[in-house]
Amino acid sequence: MMENNYGGFWLRAVAFLIDIIILKFTSIVLLFIGIVALNSGFQSYEYDLSVNTFANITCKFVAIYYIMTVFLYAVYFTYFHGTTGQTIGKKIFGLKVLQSTGEPMTLGIAFLRWVGYIISGLILYLGYIWIAFDRKKQGWHDKIAGTCVIKVKP
């Protein structure tokens, strides 16, 4: 691959931001649906809820929401990277994820790359900031999965 063909930090950051906005909107819609479903369940049974019972239900609901959100992110990034090499944000900016060998992504490598996203963000997002300074513009998640992001014609 040619050096100038790698997707740079700012282009990737904006593409990632678009993906996050899509995912946040989707998770908020699902949260709203869950709240409506939870609320309608209480109205139909005329429960006299104590504070402890309500707190217990709320904690379970929040836990389920966060688990669902993590699952949604995993599916989104794994599916799009694994099938086309491009999420919606990357497609808009003409970026594509490939294996470092130049071969297309697989679902397994895409999932490994998503796990690398978590690692990249653990310590003050240093794994993402690394992209700005790396010769091949690879973040920690790229190095973990053996991938790189290149510019393609949109």
Q: Domain map of the chain by residue range?
A: 3-151
Rounded to whole angstroms, what are the CA distances from 105 to 1, 44, 126, 149? 16, 49, 24, 11
Do residues 121 and 130 lie in contact, with contact meaning Cβ atoms separated by under 8 Å?
A: no
pLDDT higher at 93 or 59 = 93
pTM, entire model: 0.86
pLDDT in the model for residue 12: 97
Tell me the per-residue pLDDT of 21-38, one tens digit each, with 9 for 90 and over: 999 999 999 888 888 877
Give the phi and the psi of residue 145 in degrees, each rounded to 5: -90, -10
Tell me the per-residue pLDDT of 108-123, one tens digit each, with 9 for 90 and over: 999 999 999 999 999 9
User: Over 60: is that where the pLDDT of 103 sits?
Assistant: yes
Tell me the per-residue pLDDT of 50-80, one tens digit each, with 9 for 90 and over: 666 767 777 888 888 899 999 999 999 999 9
Q: State the amino acid at position 83 in one-letter form.
A: T
